[in-house]
Structure 1
């Protein structure tokens, strides 16, 4: 059958494609932990920020993963073009950013509410929501860029984007999430 990719669905094929990627992504994640460690004092001073860390990086990774899944499906259907004027590509990118702009304010309000209920809200709700929203907007744009680059790289390297794009996007968004969140904190708090 034309286009049959079943030859890549072997343990050896999957390991050959994934092991180098997972090794690099492990180093990236360690870097994220080291960056996070440098902000320990600020996290302890403002517990709402501590609550924001996993939610922010998780939500950014989820947004990138949703886009990656959509692009991977379009790739397999043969409808994905990497042209800047591709309406489907642009529509999915805009939808990802719009989803972030509606999700992250709720993330910030929830983080503030949780820390407030536990008696640890040292920052005002407006500040926490602003930090979450700004971080989310920047992360959404970065998640779109990372997803597009990872999908295009998978295409050029003849790898199945289903195998490599989501792990790459979620791990890179973890690191970017920490950097962007604390960049926003430095500017806004």
Structure 2
């Protein structure tokens, strides 16, 4: 084996050790992720407080309590997936700026369209399940309207936050994969619950 081959192997070993030390070590993962996980826990409690303040809306809109957890779960799943895709695209060098970036716009539009489709389905499923289980429902139109308003509005807000967060964390030297998903999950719970609350009020005023 030539000297150059040995040198290449040594370089590969050094790169691997540097990667494990700076990026993939247990210490670096915990150091980056722990603060955001703590914030995620606090954010979940904040979302709970918002939900606790919706007593009047829950009483006046039968079936709202059925779709509320589903709205949070749906929005969290879609937004976290968007955050993960953005993080992967940034690591691959596909997203380096916000302007004129097809990869970025396709991810955002896909996320918003998926949110709209699932919101409509959620309203229909929520009404159907409520009726089948023998409970009173505010009606398929009311529940679907609330789900769509809450899902689309929170989707737009969270898409903007996901993009800014992913690009910002990467530029400041953080790994987006460790930061974006828990952050979006936390912010998503708060934003989705707040939009659900406001959407319920809008429907009650109609």
With normalisation by structure 2, the TM-score equals 0.85
Gaps of 5+ in 1: none
Gaps of 5+ in 2: 1-11
Corresponding position: 1:17 with 2:37: no
Q: How many pairs are equivalent?
A: 189
In structure 1, the partner of 2:145 is: 130
The structure with the larger Rg is 2
In structure 1, the partner of 2:53 is: 38
Q: 1:5 to 1:146 in 2, by over 3 A?
A: farther
2:94 to 79, 82, 85: 79
CA contact (8 A) 1:32 1:175 kept: yes
For residues 78 and 111 of structure 2, what CA distance do their matches in structure 1 show? 6
CA contact (8 A) 1:63 1:143 kept: no
Post-superposition shift, 1:23? Answer: 1.8
In structure 1, the partner of 2:3 is: none
CA contact (8 A) 2:79 2:185 kept: yes
For residues 122-157 of structure 1, give each alpha carbon's deviation from its aligned partner in whole angstroms, at most 9, with x where no partner exists: 301111111111111112111211211220222122
In structure 2, the partner of 1:159 is: 174
3-12 or 115-124, which deviates more = 3-12
In structure 2, the partner of 1:56 is: 71
In structure 2, the partner of 1:5 is: 19
SS at match of 1:154: helix
With normalisation by structure 1, the TM-score equals 0.92
For residues 44 and 114 of structure 1, what CA distance do their matches in structure 2 show? 18
Instruction: Give the ranges of 4+ consecutive aligned residues of structure 1 lying more than 6 Å apart after TM superposition.
Output: none
Post-superposition shift, 1:44? Answer: 4.2
